[in-house]
Each structure stands twice: as structure tokens, then as C-alpha cells.
Structure 1
Amino acid sequence: MIDDFAKKYLHSDLREIREAVLWKLDGLGEYDIRRPLTSTGTNLLGLVKHLSILESRYFGEVFDRPFPEPLPRWDDAGEHGADMWATEHETRGEVVDRYRRAWEHSDATITALAIDSPGHVPWWPRPDVKLFNILVHMLTETSRHAGHADILREQLDASTGTTAKYAAPQHDATFWEAQCAKIERAAKAAVTGQACARPPVG
């Protein structure tokens, strides 16, 4: 009974957070979903592409249920990092549709297997796993990248939240300037307070 509950609970959360990742693309133009927004090149469409490959592999070959489409190899040095951005030849629709097809493949694996079904992750230090391990791993990975996507989207138009239903209310630039100034004052005061609290040397 608890195994069925755990599988259903984890799977439900994974489904919700997948949708949150895709929602971060809504309303943005091609340039904004593709352009690097951090010093390491992190971008919104690249996160979707990356997650589609992760799901395909972890719920595919790990359980001897390979995803039916070609995927870049983990061990191909020439492909290193290629899953984190979309080329000019890859359309938004292609990347998003591949992610959705990965969901369908993953969901079929999750539905077909018991939560304690064995799998093998050759690139992990402890490669013998259960479906439970992979569900937790992919929920963690997807949540982590959803958080990245939230911050990237906030940089673009100050939009935050997990779905349109729970989107943070929009404020004007004056509000955010005042909010940032308040936080900046607190940060500086904390540093000054620590300096004053240090015991004298000698």
C-alpha cells in the first residue's frame, strides 16, 4: 500500500513540475527563450532540451526500456554541453514536443514498473538502483531546473511562480527598486553589525 502511494505521490509531483518548466516559455519570443542569461550560458529552451534527454535516459535505458529516438551519448566529448542549448535549426516546437514525448515514455515506464523494480545507472558510483531512486532523482533534477527557469524568467520580465494560477503579482519598477533598496540596506547593515561584534585582536 505505501509503495503504491509513494509512486503515485512522486509521479504526480513530477508531472506538475514538468508543466511549470514549460510554462516559463509562455509569452516569450524566440530570442529570449534561447539567449544566454548567465555567465555560463544557461537559457530557458536549453533547460527544456536538457530535461528531455535526462528523462529519456533515466526512465529509458536505466530500466532496459530505451527511448525510441536517437539521443546524444553521455560519453561523447564532442556532444558535451550540447544538451544545454538549442541550435538555430532546432525549433521551439521540436524541443517542447520531444520533452512531451519523453514524458509519455517515462510515464509508461513508471506505470509499468513497481517502485522497487531494479535498474542500472552505469555512470553512478552505486549503479544498482530501484525505480524509487530514479523517481526521486528526476523530481529533484526537474525541480532544480524549474528553479533556474524561474530566475531566468524573472530576469526577463519579473514574472515568477509555478503556474499561471499561482503567478506572483506584477509590480511596477518603482516597487522593485524600493524592495531591492530595502534588501540592500539590510545586507550592508548585517555586514556592519558583524564587524562591530568582532572581539578586539590582541
Structure 2
Amino acid sequence: MASSTPSPTPDAKSDLHFYLQSARDALLWKLEGLSEYDIRRPRTPTGTNLLGLVKHATGAELGYLGDTFGRPLSGGPLPWMAAGGEPNADMWATADESRGHIVDLYRRVWAHADATIDALPLDAVGTVPWWPQGRDEVTLHHAVVRVIADTHRHAGHADILRELTDGAVGMNKGNGSMPSGDSAWWESHRDRLERAAREAGRNPA
């Protein structure tokens, strides 16, 4: 199995960027090969969907690594982030919002965020516009770690949604991060887990 451990890096910014970019790439990879319907279809009672996760990550990254440090994206705020916008609008894509538009915007935002990371020291202090006044200051280091955690969390959501859609799994193109096994092996493995769960359910602690 291929290793997911990064090569040694010369500084903290390089380490942070490695893990941020790996999460971005994983999130976009989960869209590949799927229909417009499948990347948009709600798979949970709260409507979680693949393209919506990318749209959400776009706004979160721009907010924390752009606006927070006085570096807005040219062209104004994202439409779904404007004041008075529809609640939860960042978690799904309308029929008029194309996959290409959202993916291209995400790439543009992450280039903008990378420029912020490169331009400022990690101890630079910014102000998060949507946090309560008096508790709204944050260092760039904290903001980057927060975005990394959020993006990896949503990449994990995307892992599950993609597997439920067509059975595809894996961390990224070069690292499946899964035991080898054909469909019969996985069916047997799942059945074994089901039997264990049922047995445990008959013997409550």
C-alpha cells in the first residue's frame, strides 16, 4: 500500500500546505466519473451531497484565509455568502450552478488562500467577520489548521457518499488506503461484521 506520509518539509507552512492540498484534492477526486445527478443528490436526511461539500469548502476557505485577513477575492463576495442569503445555501448546488463553475471557483479560491499563507507570517492576526466581537481575532496559523480540519472532515463525508453511490473507495488516486480484496471478499467481510453486530446486540453490556 502506498504511503500517505509526506516527505520531509523545510518549514511549518510547507507542512500545513501539504495537508490542506491533500484534503482539497481528495474532495474534488470524489466527483470524478459521476453524473450531474449523482454529485448533487442528497444522501442524508439533512441533504448532504458531494457537490455541496465542495461549494461549502470554497466558502469556508475564502472566509478564513481571505476575508479574515483583509484579503477579499476580486469580484466581490460569493453569492451564497452575501448578507441575507438563504440559510444552508452553501451546502447544495442549484441546477444553474454547474459543476465546472463550482470546481473552477474552488481552485481559484484555494490559489487565493495559498497567496495569503505565503504573504503573511503564521502569527499574523486577523478578524473573523462572523465570530462574536471581542472573540473574533485569530492567527493565520490557527485559521489554516481550522480549514485543514474542516476540509478533511468533509473529504471523509465525501468518502462515504461516493461509496454509497457507486462503491468507489480510496484516499486519492495514488493511495487506496484499503486492504486488497475482490467483491466476494468484501461481501464476506461485511457479513462477518453484521453477524458480530447482531451478536453484540443480543448481549447488551
User: TM tier, shorter chain?
Assistant: 0.7 to 0.9
Asked whether the equivalents of residues 26 and 172 of structure 2 are also in contact (C-alpha less than 8 Å), the reply is yes
Q: Say if 2:189 is the partner of 1:179.
A: yes
Give the superposition deviation at 1:42.
0.7
**Residue from 73, 76, 82 that aligns with 2:81:** 73
Which residue identity is paired with 2:91?
M
CA distance in 2, matches of 1:86, 1:122: 24
Which residue identity is paired with 1:176?
W
Which residue identity is paired with 1:17?
A
Asked whether the equivalents of residues 40 and 92 of structure 2 are also in contact (C-alpha less than 8 Å), the reply is yes
Give the superposition deviation at 1:162.
1.6
CA distance in 1, matches of 2:127, 2:82: 15
Q: Say if 2:96 is the partner of 1:89.
A: yes
Q: Please list the CA deviations of residues 82-117 of structure 1 after superposition, one character each: whole Å capped at 9, or x if unmatched.
A: 111111111110010000000110000000000000
5 Å matches for 1:42-57? 42-57=48-63
Give the superposition deviation at 1:170.
6.8
**Residue from 155, 161, 182 that aligns with 2:170:** 161
Q: Which has the larger radius of gyration?
A: 1
Worse-matched range after superposition: 62-71 or 19-28 = 62-71
Give identity over the alignment, percent: 51
Matched with 1:193 is 203
CA distance in 2, matches of 1:74, 1:184: 46
Q: Say if 2:126 is the partner of 1:116.
A: no
CA distance in 2, matches of 1:170, 1:179: 10
CA distance in 2, matches of 1:35, 1:170: 29
SS in 1 for 2:171: coil
Worse-matched range after superposition: 161-170 or 79-88 = 161-170
Which residue identity is paired with 2:158?
A
Which residue identity is paired with 1:118?
V
Which residue identity is paired with 2:63?
R
Count of matched residue positions in the alignment of Structure 1 and Structure 2: 190
Asked whether the equivalents of residues 57 and 67 of structure 1 are also in contact (C-alpha less than 8 Å), the reply is no
Matched with 2:5 is none
SS in 1 for 2:138: strand
CA distance in 2, matches of 1:170, 1:61: 46
**Residue from 34, 41, 49 that aligns with 1:28:** 34
CA RMSD of aligned residues (A): 1.8
Matched with 1:140 is 149
- Superposition TM-score, scaled by structure 2 size: 0.86
CA distance in 2, matches of 1:194, 1:36: 34
CA distance in 1, matches of 2:147, 2:127: 15
Matched with 2:161 is 152
Unpaired segments ≥5 residues, structure 1: 196-202
